[in-house]
């Protein structure tokens, strides 16, 4: 089978999974037990194996021919402009497919056990498969049209999954917020596609990139505008400043959803987009610089806020925002291999962290607040080990995967020199904060005195609380639309352990594929996709890379040590700090007041305009004047017509005579 | 002896009948006025038949007479039924065909 | 010639007088009698127009049968003198007005029209013009369908008259009482059912 046939299979499996599960729901009683989960996992396993097939086929091709395009049918074809439903199998897309389908498969397996008992089990797996299908469609697209289709589907799937527990008002509001911000990104992307189409006359990647060299000059105005709009799309999807406010709220969704969508796959779509359109960015370095600056600002922002928030899932969410800032920085300084490598390792350890968090929250009976957790180490050894592995990778502990990937990005940034050094220093500062907050989580949750739930679990008895909204505390029931009553922890469910184990191994060891000077797997693999990059040769030497790695390793150790000191040795020092700098703390906990800013700038004026529209325009003008006027005219006319129907025969006769008289008059006049 | 005079006479008779239909309240008299109008039409028909020399007008007038007779029969039957059911014999009271 | 003209005027005035009598006279009985006079005058006019058969039919059928029927009904019902109703306002004033308007228009049409034939005395007539033989021939050849239709009409009218005139007991038997819509021995007028259309 050819590479593109494998590509179609990669798309077909999750789509088939969605349909089978969706139609299985029609069977009375639905599909039994955990079957929907296993069907979904099987579909994603099929996609993963097909990706491997595509990989093998691709590697069989000679290096300069590793870009296979296949189209299913033509959408539009006029003159010399043609748009197809076509997929592109090249190293970049196969890389993304492997990461997406691999991590998705493990998360599906985890969900099989984690979501058991939920009334929306079928719906969950149908949505999840649909999401993976959309993400793979986005990644395999060969032109902007299919990309935008996949982009929109992914946004829709994200909305569906964030508001999965739809009877929770906080969840539906979060879903709407995510969708609205995503739409802003969609608009940017579509307008960028229009601009590119206008200037280059093509919409497929090959056409656009080939024309770009001839049509655009360096830093051409239209090109910069198009690239900035692409960045808008990327920032909305990848939760970068200022379009990031939806991601922490998206934690309202089930934990595996957070793991899949908001850590490993969907939020990386923006990074993929910048990497895919790299010829345009290299022709318009101004836009790339904007991307680098925003990426750096975001990583600092995310790291600082993660220091202060106490909700476990939201801490990990801000960590995601921060780490994607690293990736955006990487691809914006044209370090594509490094950026995508970090994407891969981040997928591993972030998904692992979320899975661990899910297990912890289950053990706590649904409580997500770290202030109420402590000492779970003895009660949950497996979860502790897995979570710590993820935290080590996040903190870039020496020789973990995060260590190699993050520091490679920073080494590239340093290599670019000039003012990029400022970004690199900010990146290292962010790494210090990252190490600190990663182990803040570990020490607060697993160390210290065991809380009541931990002690119960040590006795072998899973804690149980009355179902309530973790954010607002209002009580709920456990019917459809709300989470299930039963909770599942990794220690008791084999599927959860089966998913977390491989990820822990990968988080710790996956860095070995890209050790500077030793192995170069990722870079070599991705090279054909980026062969046309002008900046490909500005890679740092092995020596400078090792210096960067040493610096990064030291920073990580310092951060972990500081966290150990603050949370284990001298407990309470952070509380003193909080009391001494209340305003700083408030600034961080309120997420730098972005939500309040947007509320004042956008939400409130629009709401006021809407209220005005409803009160004045809708009620008075449309209802009263236009609708009321039309019906009023009809009513008056018909009441007039009704008044003729008196029932008096003589009146009718009079009208008859009148009509005859008028007719005769008309004929008289007409004939004269 | 123009045909015109016959036609003018027929017009006058028609108009008198129409005025009578509109102004009288007794349904019997209204029917009588209807007869007036029909007869005026008959006169015009016969006059035109004389004018053309064909007999179609006279045949037409004969049929009109038949129709008038049938109409009178039914109309009087209705009035008698009204009387029998003790309804007032007044056209203005029969006003149920209204909207 | 002059004889014809005199006869025309006499018959014309008689017809007009009869018509006015029908409309103006208060007592319905006298109205019927006025109509009889009108019908006889009209028969004379038909004779003047060489329509002998029609004139005869007018006298025999119309004045003879239909008016006799009318007189019977007026005698049965009584038909009291109508009081003058003040409410008749609009109809009283406008009715004759519109009727008069029609009359004026018709006269204008007849007198001022350019029809040449109207000014003549009419076409030359054959020998049997207006005789029963000619009319009978036409009825059975050219106007067969109207003839048959008229006979149907007469049948329908007869059946209708029988249905209308039956005693109530007969109507109950065939269940047609509900269709007539008259409950037995009610003094007050039937309830007014109105159909309100609400917008």
Per cent of chain C over pLDDT 70 is 68
What does residue B96 show for φ and ψ, rounded to 5 degrees? -95, -5
Closest CA to C28 of C80, C65, C100: C80
Average pLDDT, chain C: 79
For residue C94, the chain A residue with the least C-alpha distance is A654
Average pLDDT over residues A533-544: 70
Cβ <8 Å between B3 and C103:
no
Residue A643 at interface with chain C, using a CB cutoff of 8 Å: no
**What are the C-alpha distances in Å from A588 to residues A394, A540, C37, C190?**
21, 35, 115, 86
pLDDT digits (tens, 9 = 90+) for A606-657: 888 888 888 888 777 787 778 888 888 899 999 888 887 777 788 888 888 8
Tell me how far CA of residue A34 lies from CA of A30, A115, A116, A119, A120, in angstroms.
11, 9, 7, 12, 12
| Run of H or E residues at A72 | strand A68-78
pLDDT in the model for residue C117:
58
Which residues in chain B have their CB less than 8 angstroms from residue A653's CB? 21-22
Q: What pLDDT was estimated at residue C119?
A: 58
User: Is the ipTM above a cut-off of 0.95?
Assistant: no
Residue-level pLDDT at A106: 94
Between CA A343 and CA B35 the distance in angstroms is: 104
Side-chain half-sphere CA neighbours of B21 within 13 A:
25
User: What per-residue confidence (pLDDT) applies to C186?
Assistant: 45
> What would the pLDDT profile of A122-140 be if each residue is shown by its tens digit?
899 999 999 999 999 999 9
Q: Note the pLDDT tens digit of each residue in A212-235.
A: 878 777 777 888 899 999 999 999
Phi, psi at A87, each rounded to 5°? -115, 155
pLDDT above 80: residue C136: yes
Instruction: Band the pLDDT of A322: cuts 50, 70, 90.
Output: very high
The predicted structure's pLDDT at residue C114: 59
Structure-block tokens of residue A567: 């949370």
Q: What is the pLDDT of residue C198?
A: 41
Tally the residues of chain A. 672
Predicted confidence band at C187 (pLDDT cuts at 50, 70, 90)? very low
Alpha-carbon gap, residue A646 to A644, rounded angstroms: 6
Say if residue A499's pLDDT is above 80.
Answer: yes
Contact residues, chain A, for C100 at CB < 8 Å: none
Nearest CA in chain B to C160: B74
Q: State yes or no: pLDDT of A196 exceeds 70.
A: yes
Peptide bond into A242 cis (omega under 30): yes
Q: Which of C69, C91, C138 faces B55 most closely, judged by CB atoms?
A: C138
Residue B38 touches partner C, C-beta closer than 8 Å: no
Task: Quick: pLDDT tens for A559-572.
Answer: 888 888 888 777 77
pLDDT in tens, C152-177: 999 999 999 888 877 666 555 565 55
Contact predicate A42/A73, CB 8 Å: no
C121 touches chain B (CB under 8 A): yes
Nearest-CA residue of chain C relative to A642?
C197
Which chains does chain C touch, 3 or more C-beta pairs < 8 A?
Answer: A, B
The stretch A54-74 carries a mean pLDDT of: 83
Distance between CA A260 and CA A251 in Å, rounded?
Answer: 12
The residue of chain B nearest to residue A650, with distances taken between CA atoms, is B22
Across the interface, of B21, B95, B99, the residue whose CB is closest to A648 is: B95
| C94/A contact by beta carbon, under 8 A | yes
Chain B within 8 Å of C146 (Cβ-Cβ)?
yes
Block residue for tokens 């993050």: A406
Predicted pLDDT of residue A61: 82
Residue C83's pLDDT band, with cuts at 50, 70 and 90, is low
pLDDT of residue C92: 67
Q: How far is C92 from chain B (nearest CA, A)?
A: 6
pLDDT tens-digit profile of C111-128?
A: 776 565 555 666 667 767
Count CB pairs under 8 A between chains B and C: 252
Q: What is the per-residue pLDDT for A223?
A: 87
Average pLDDT of the residues in B48-73: 90
A1/A410: higher pLDDT:
A410
Where does the pLDDT of residue A545 fall: very low under 50, low under 70, confident under 90, or very high at 90 and above?
A: confident
Taking CB atoms within 8 Å and a gap of at least 24, the contacts of A519-522 are A522/A95, A522/A337, A522/A340, A522/A341, A522/A344
- Spatial separation of the C-alpha atoms in residues A643 and A632, rounded to whole Å: 16
Predicted confidence (pLDDT) per residue in A291-321, tens digit: 999 999 999 999 999 988 889 999 999 999 9
Nearest CA in chain B to C47: B46
The Cβ of residue A585 has, within 10 Å, a number of other Cβ atoms equal to: 16
Contact A661 C106 (CB under 8 A): no
- Provide the sign of the torsion angle of the four alpha carbons A258, A259, A263, A268, taken in this order: negative
Confidence check: pLDDT of C181 > 60: no
Task: Tell me the per-residue pLDDT of C137-147, one tens digit each, with 9 for 90 and over.
Answer: 888 999 999 99
Could you give the count of Cα atoms lying within 13 Å of C198 in the half-sphere of its Cβ? Answer: 0
Q: Do A654 and C91 touch (CB under 8 A)?
A: yes
Residues of B in contact with A654 (CB under 8 A): 22
Judge whether residue B46 has pLDDT over 80: yes
CB-based contacts of A188: which residues, under 8 Å, 6+ apart? A229, A230, A231, A232, A233, A236
Is B97 close to A647, i.e. CB distance below 8 A?
Answer: yes
pLDDT of amino acid C80:
64
Are A406 and A326 within 8 A, CB to CB? yes
- Model confidence pLDDT, tens digit, residues A464-494: 777 777 777 777 777 777 777 778 887 888 8
Report the mean per-residue pLDDT for chain A: 86
Closest CA to A509 of A498, A495, A494, A519: A519
Q: Considering only CB atoms, which chain A residues are within 8 Å of C199?
A: 631, 634-635, 638
Tokens of A373: 């957790």
Residue C138's alpha-carbon distances to B66, C142, C151, in angstroms, are 16, 5, 16
- Tell me which chain A residue has its CA closest to the CA of residue B98: A647
B96 near A CB under 8 A: yes
Residue A162: pLDDT band with limits 50, 70, 90: very high
Contact A363/A380 with Cβ under 8 angstroms? yes
DSSP notation for A188-249: HHHHHHHHHHHHHS--BHHHHHHHHHHHPPTT-HHHHHHHHHHHHHHHHHHT-TTS-THHHH
The Cα of B88 is separated from the nearest Cα of chain A by a number of Å equal to: 15
Q: Which residues of A touch C102 (CB under 8 A)?
A: 657, 660-661, 664
Question: Do residues A394 and A319 touch, judged by C-beta distance below 8 A?
Answer: yes
Identify the residue among C12, C38, C47, C49 best suited for mutation to test binding to B, counting B beta carbons within 10 A and taking the highest. C49
A82 sits in which H/E element: strand A81-89
The answer, yes or no, to whether residue A432 has pLDDT greater than 60, is yes
C196 confidence band (pLDDT: 50, 70, 90)? very low
Question: Of the ranges A145-154, A217-226, B88-97, which is most confident?
Answer: A145-154
What is the band of A81 on the pLDDT scale with cuts at 50, 70, 90? Answer: confident
* C-beta atoms surrounding A658 within 10 Å: 16
The reply to whether residue A650 touches residue C95, judged by beta carbons under 8 angstroms, is: yes
């Amino acid at each position: 089978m050819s590479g593109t046939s494998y590509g179609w299979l990669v798309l077909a499996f999750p789509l088939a999974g969605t349909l089978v599960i969706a139609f299985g729901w029609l069977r009375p009683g639905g599909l039994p037990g955990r079957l929907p989960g296993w069907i979904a996992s099987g579909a994603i396993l099929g996609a993963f194996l097909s990706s491997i097939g595509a990989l093998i086929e691709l590697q069989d091709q000679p290096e300069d021919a590793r870009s296979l395009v296949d189209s299913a049918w033509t959408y539009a074809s006029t003159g010399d402009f043609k748009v197809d439903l076509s997929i592109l199998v090249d190293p970049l897309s196969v890389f993304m497919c492997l990461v997406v389908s691999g991590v998705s498969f493990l998360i599906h397996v985890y969900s099989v056990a984690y979501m058991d008992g939920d009334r929306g089990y079928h719906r969950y797996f149908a949505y999840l498969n649909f999401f993976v299908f959309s993400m793979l469609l986005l990644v395999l697209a060969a032109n902007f049209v299919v990309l935008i289709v996949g982009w929109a589907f992914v946004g829709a799937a994200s909305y569906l999954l964030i508001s999965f527990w739809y009877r929770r008002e906080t969840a539906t509001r979060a879903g709407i917020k995510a969708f609205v911000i995503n739409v802003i990104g969609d608009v940017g992307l579509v307008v960028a596609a229009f601009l590119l189409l206008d200037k280059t006359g093509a919409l497929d990647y090959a056409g656009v990139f080939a024309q770009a060299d001839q049509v655009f000059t360096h830093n051409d105005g239209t090109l910069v505008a198009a690239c900035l709009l692409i960045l808008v799309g990327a920032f909305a999807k990848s939760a970068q400043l200022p379009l990031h406010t939806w991601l922490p709220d998206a934690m309202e969704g089930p934990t595996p959803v957070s793991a899949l969508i908001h850590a490993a796959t969907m939020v990386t779509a923006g990074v993929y987009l910048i990497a895919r359109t790299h010829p345009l960015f290299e022709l318009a370095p101004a836009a790339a610089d904007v991307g680098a600056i925003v990426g750096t600002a975001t990583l600092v922002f995310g790291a600082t806020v993660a220091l202060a928030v106490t909700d476990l899932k939201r801490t990990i969410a801000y960590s995601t925002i921060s780490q994607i800032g690293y990736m955006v920085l990487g691809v914006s300084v044209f370090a594509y291999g490094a950026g995508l490598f970090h994407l891969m390792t981040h997928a591993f350890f972030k998904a692992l962290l979320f899975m661990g968090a899910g297990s912890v929250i289950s053990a706590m009976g649904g409580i997500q607040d770290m202030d109420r957790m402590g000492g779970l180490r003895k009660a949950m050894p497996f979860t502790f080990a897995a979570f710590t592995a993820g935290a080590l990778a996040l903190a870039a502990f020496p020789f973990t995967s995060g260590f190699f990937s993050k520091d490679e990005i920073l080494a590239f940034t340093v290599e670019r020199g000039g003012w990029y050094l400022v970004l690199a220093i900010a990146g290292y500062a962010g790494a210090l904060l990252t190490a600190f907050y990663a182990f803040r989580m570990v020490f607060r949750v697993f160390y210290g005195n065991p809380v009541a739930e931990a002690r119960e679990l040590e006795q072998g008895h899973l804690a149980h609380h009355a179902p309530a909204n973790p954010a607002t505390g209002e009580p709920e029931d456990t019917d459809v639309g709300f989470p299930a009553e039963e909770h599942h922890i990794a220690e008791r469910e084999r599927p959860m352990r089966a998913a977390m184990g491989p990820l822990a191994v990968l988080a710790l060891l996956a860095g070995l594929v890209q050790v500077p000077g030793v192995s170069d797997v990722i870079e070599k693999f991705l090279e054909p996709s980026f062969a046309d990059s002008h900046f490909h040769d500005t890679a740092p030497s092995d020596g400078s890379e090792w210096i960067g790695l040493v610096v990064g390793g030291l920073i990580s150790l310092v951060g972990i040590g500081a966290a150990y000191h603050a949370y284990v040795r001298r407990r309470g020092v952070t509380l003193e700090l909080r009391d001494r700098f209340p305003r700083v703390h408030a600034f961080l906990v309120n997420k730098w007041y972005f939500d309040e800013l947007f509320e004042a700038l956008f939400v409130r004026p629009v709401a006021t305009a809407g209220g005005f529209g409803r009160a004045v325009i809708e009620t008075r003008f449309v209802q009263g004047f236009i609708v009321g006027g039309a019906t009023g005219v009809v009513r008056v006319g018909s009441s007039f017509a009704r008044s003729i129907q008196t029932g008096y025969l003589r009146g009718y006769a009079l009208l008859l005579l009148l009509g005859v008289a008028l007719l005769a008059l008309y004929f008289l006049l007409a004939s004269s | 002896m123009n045909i015109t005079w016959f036609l003018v006479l027929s017009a006058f008779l028609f108009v008198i009948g129409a005025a009578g239909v509109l102004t009288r309240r007794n349904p019997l008299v209204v029917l009588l006025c209807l007869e007036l109008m029909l007869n005026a039409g008959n006169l015009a028909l016969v006059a035109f038949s004389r004018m053309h020399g064909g007999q179609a007008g006279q045949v037409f007038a004969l049929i009109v007479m038949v129709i008038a007779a049938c109409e009178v029969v039914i109309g009087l039957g209705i009035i008698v039924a009204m009387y029998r059911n003790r309804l007032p014999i007044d056209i203005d009271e029969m006003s149920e065909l209204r909207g | 010639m002059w004889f014809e003209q005199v006869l025309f005027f006499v018959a014309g005035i008689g017809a007009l007088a009869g018509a006015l009598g029908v409309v103006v006279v208060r007592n319905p009985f006298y109205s019927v009698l006025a109509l009889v006079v009108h019908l006889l005058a009209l028969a004379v006019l038909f004779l003047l127009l060489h329509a002998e058969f029609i004139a005869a039919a007018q006298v025999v059928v119309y004045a003879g049968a239909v008016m006799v029927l009318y007189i019977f009904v007026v005698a049965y019902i009584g038909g009291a003198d109508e009081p003058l109703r003040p409410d008749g306002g609009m109809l009283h004033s406008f009715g004759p007005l519109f009727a008069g308007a029609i009359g004026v228009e018709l006269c204008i049409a007849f007198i001022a029209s350019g029809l040449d034939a109207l000014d003549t005395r009419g076409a030359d007539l054959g020998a049997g013009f207006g005789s029963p033989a000619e009319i009978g021939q036409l009825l059975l050849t050219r106007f067969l369908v109207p003839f048959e239709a008229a006979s149907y009409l007469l049948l329908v009218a007869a059946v209708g008259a029988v249905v209308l005139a039956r005693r109530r007991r007969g109507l109950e038997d065939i269940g047609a009482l509900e269709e007539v819509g008259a409950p037995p021995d009610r003094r007050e007028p039937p309830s007014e059912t109105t159909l309100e259309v609400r917008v």
